[in-house]
Amino acid sequence: MSASGERLASALATHAPAPARRRIHPFDDESWLGRILLAPAVVYIVALVGFPFFLAISYSVSDATVGSTTLHFVGFRNYAQIFQDPTFWRSLRNAVVFTGVSQVLVVVLGKILAMAIYADFPGKWIVRFLILLPWVAPISLGSIGWLWIFDPVYSVINWSARALHLFRGGFWPIWLGQPDLAMASIILVDVWRLLPLATVIILAGMSSIPQDIHDAAAVDGAGFWRHLFRINLPLIMPIMLVALLFGIVFTFTDLIVVYVLTRGGPFDSTQVIASYAYFTGVQGGDLATGAAISLFLFPVLVAVAIVFLTIAKRTEVT
Amino acid sequence: MATVETRRLTKRFDSGNAVDGIDLSVREGEFLVLVGPSGCGKTTLLRMLAGLETPSSGDVLIGGRVVTWLPPRKRDIAMVFQSYALYPHLTVFGNIAFPMRAAGVARADVATRVQKAASMFGIERLLQRKPRQLSGGERQRVALARAVVRDPVVFLLDEPLSNLDAKLRTSARDELQQFQRRLGTTTVYVTHDQVEAMGLGDRIAVLDHGRIHQLGTPRDVYHDPADTFVATFIGSPPMNLLQNGRMLSGVRPEQLLPRAAFDRDDAIVPFPFTVNRIEYLGADRLVYGTLDAPRADTKVIARLPSMITLPIETGRRYDFAVRERDLKHFDRESGRKLERAA
């Protein structure tokens, strides 16, 4: 420091108030304020995610039932048991099919829908609002609505199709009572439920592409398909993966649609991991086995999350 | 190479006419600059030439063919955007190759033509990079390479130099003009910068409020402005305009000189004013002043080259003058140019 600098510093020091004895209020101290503001979220996650998770792990290696008051450690007996259980494998396969098919449909339809409502047209606002409605409706109420739509006697689909002469003679599908149709039905409901979120996420991704890029592609000679596959899709791929990640997590862990519509039936043809864990652990009273089944959700979801976040990072374009 | 023409071309937006019945004709191989203040409709006009904007009425012709309703890809044009609009997910090679792949050029040809275009702009070593790894000047070259690679009949350039820093802009301007001369491709260039317009254009179209005020060579536009808008828009500092009865008289700042600077036999008009402020710019001095009463509210600017060493102080009155033939006259009402000594 130069001489003049030192003079200035000492002048400032003598005139500055003596270091305050008073403690800074925690709200004025950023390190404390940060902790205070984070605390509710941390407490919430620990109490509602962390604690149940470790409880499930401890149940899965015990002999807990709904009625028991003490736990005994039984090692991996419950896991050995579910590996022998064909219904478990069937549930796992169903969960993968249910999630896979519905998410492919959600992403493809979400992209198409987003492109349709990306363009400017009168009444755009109301269309966007209507598309979002299934997302804001409670899942259970929406599913009950679909239960009526798929009703074996009163199904509005069947009666409409018959009135339009599409179903002839004795053709009368029992939507939730025939194995293939039951799976198709729960996939349909899941797509209906998740499509709005995916559409809105993809729409946000599309809005983030500068108009100049589209204009350049148009001038450079790209037609619709080339523009879609070479410019549009690669640019929104990271954000589409986020939509897909959400969709997979929501669908793979979902219990409500299956519970309300089919209870896993007929013949376990729509049984998924979440519903099987619930029926075994809570309704069947075998908490230990139920916990072991439900823990199979965890590694799958972690793997999915890691894979997608890695891809999203790699394809990041900006 | 082709001509570009517009006939009564109009674009209406809710707020009014962005382009208002423009008739424009660009000659084959010409470098035409559209210049005007922001919001004058120059970019909208260019976008209509490109087919990115649909005209409300009127026609666009490229090479004598009406293309008004053709999509951009069927017009055989190339465009460079202000933002360069490089595809961020593609490499430089992918960006330059894109228009050819869209046109279905064979794979082997694509590679050789990309190489050729890249070497034209000295960016061969950047071919494997992504746009985000390039500097502003490199991005601009990639955008130009992408435009030339397809051999379009017309180049449309929308302020391609405005994102470069001042030093780079000068050299880029030079290169741009050289390469246009070499290719001889008809070029329409949009800018708000009148220095760029003067320096680049074979002809300049000065636009305001969706209309062309004047279309002419840089020399015409500067020395013989069609109206007061052109007179004040082109030239920095702008032309001095003074009320002179029922007309406005205009004089360029560099033509307003101390009386002593003129030859004795020059026909001059005396122009005394009081100096308020002097800006020393190195090569020139800008002298700001106000006229004598009763026109003391009229401000004038004179630009003195460094050869004129006459000392000037603020607050004093000096005898300036202008050659009579350098004076321009405009109608006070319409602003249109009047023929001499009206």
pLDDT tens readout for residues A165-178:
887 777 888 888 88
By the 10 Å C-beta count (0-12 exposed, 13-18 middle, 19+ buried), B231 is classed as buried
Contact between residue B158 and residue B85 where contact means Cβ atoms under 8 Å apart: no
Is the Cβ pair A235, B79 closer than 8 Å?
no
Count of other CB atoms within 10 angstroms of residue B115: 14
Q: For the residues A15-35, what does the mean pLDDT come to?
A: 71
Q: What's the pLDDT score for residue A283?
A: 84
For A64, the 3-state DSSP assignment is coil
State in Å, rounded, how far the first CA of chain A is from the last one.
43
Residues A289 and A252 in one domain: yes
CB-facing half-sphere around the CA of A209: CA atoms within 13 A: 30
Contact between residue B4 and residue B34 where contact means Cβ atoms under 8 Å apart: no
Q: What's the pLDDT score for residue B222?
A: 93
- For A89-133, the pLDDT digits (tens) are 999 899 999 999 999 999 999 999 888 888 888 888 888 888 888
Is the Cβ pair A219, B87 closer than 8 Å?
no
Residues A134 and A251 in one domain: yes
Residues A42 and A146 in one domain: no
Is the Cβ pair A221, B102 closer than 8 Å?
yes
- Confidence class for position A267, pLDDT limits 50, 70, 90: confident
Q: Any CB–CB contact under 8 A between B83 and chain A? A: yes
- Confidence class for position A318, pLDDT limits 50, 70, 90: very low
Is the Cβ pair A213, B87 closer than 8 Å?
yes
What does the alpha-carbon distance between residue B95 and residue B144 come to, in Å, rounded to a whole number?
Answer: 11
DSSP type of residue B324 = G
* CA angle, residues B244, B245, B250, in degrees to nearest 5: 25
Residues A146 and A289 in one domain: yes
Residues A215 and A277 in one domain: yes
* CA angle, residues B302, B307, B313, in degrees to nearest 5: 50
pLDDT beyond 60 at B47: yes
Q: Which residues of A touch B96 (CB under 8 A)?
A: none
Average per-residue pLDDT for chain B: 89
In a domain, A66, yes or no: no
In a domain, A208, yes or no: yes
Of A101-110, A137-146, A215-224, B75-84, minimum mean pLDDT range: A137-146
Share of chain B above pLDDT 90, in %: 50
Please report where in the chains the tokens 């409502």 appear, as a residue. A117
Mutate to test the interface with A, among B43, B44, B62, B73 (most CBs of A within 10 A): B73
Of A40-49, A287-296, A302-311, B67-76, minimum mean pLDDT range: A302-311
The domain in which residue A49 lies consists of 19-60
Q: What's the pLDDT score for residue A191?
A: 92
pLDDT beyond 70 at A3: no
By the 10 Å C-beta count (0-12 exposed, 13-18 middle, 19+ buried), B312 is classed as middle
Q: What's the pLDDT score for residue A9?
A: 54
Q: For the residues B8-22, what does the mean pLDDT come to?
A: 88
Distance from CA of B88 to the nearest CA of A (A): 6
pLDDT beyond 90 at A43: yes
* CA angle, residues B203, B207, B213, in degrees to nearest 5: 80
Q: Any CB–CB contact under 8 A between B39 and chain A? A: no
Q: What's the pLDDT score for residue A22?
A: 64
Distance from CA of A222 to the nearest CA of B (A): 5
Q: What's the pLDDT score for residue B342?
A: 42
- Confidence class for position A1, pLDDT limits 50, 70, 90: very low
- Confidence class for position B261, pLDDT limits 50, 70, 90: confident
What does the alpha-carbon distance between residue B61 and residue B207 come to, in Å, rounded to a whole number?
Answer: 20
| H or E element at residue B80 | strand B77-80
* Distance of alpha carbon B197 from the chain centroid: 3
Residues A44 and A143 in one domain: no
Nearest to B301 by CA among B233, B251, B245: B251
Q: For the residues B90-107, what does the mean pLDDT come to?
A: 91
By the 10 Å C-beta count (0-12 exposed, 13-18 middle, 19+ buried), B322 is classed as buried
Contact between residue A241 and residue A304 where contact means Cβ atoms under 8 Å apart: no
Nearest to A234 by CA among A113, A316, A116: A316
Is the Cβ pair B73, A213 closer than 8 Å?
no
Give bridge partners of residue A293 from the DSSP assignment: none
Domain boundaries, chain B: 4-228, 238-331
Please report where in the chains the tokens 């006229």 appear, as a residue. B291
Q: Any CB–CB contact under 8 A between B62 and chain A? A: no
Q: What's the pLDDT score for residue B190?
A: 94
In a domain, A273, yes or no: yes
Nearest to A58 by CA among A78, A84, A88, A82: A78
Which of the residue ranges A1-5, A65-69, A271-275, B184-188 has the most confident prediction, judged by mean pLDDT? B184-188
State in Å, rounded, how far the first CA of chain B is from the last one.
44
Q: What is the CATH number of domain B4-228?
A: 3.40.50.300
CATH code, A227: 1.10.3720.10
Is the Cβ pair A318, B132 closer than 8 Å?
yes
**Sequence-separated (6 or more) residues with CB below 8 Å from residue B296:** B290
Q: Which residues of A touch B134 (CB under 8 A)?
A: none
Average per-residue pLDDT for chain A: 84
* CA angle, residues B304, B309, B314, in degrees to nearest 5: 70
- Looking at CATH, the fold of the domain delimited by B238-331 is given as OB fold (Dihydrolipoamide Acetyltransferase, E2P) (2.40.50)
Nearest to A273 by CA among A99, A36, A42: A99
Nearest to B60 by CA among B1, B6, B22: B6
In a domain, A69, yes or no: no
pLDDT beyond 50 at A57: yes
Q: What Rg, from alpha-carbon coordinates, does chain B have?
A: 24
Which residue in B has a C-alpha nearest to residue A215's C-alpha? B52
**Sequence-separated (6 or more) residues with CB below 8 Å from residue B257:** B302, B304, B308, B320, B321, B322
Residues A145 and A259 in one domain: yes
Distance from CA of A309 to the nearest CA of B (A): 18
- For A197-214, the pLDDT digits (tens) are 899 889 888 988 999 999
Q: For the residues B319-328, what does the mean pLDDT come to?
A: 89
More confident residue, A178 or B111: B111
Residues A48 and A159 in one domain: no
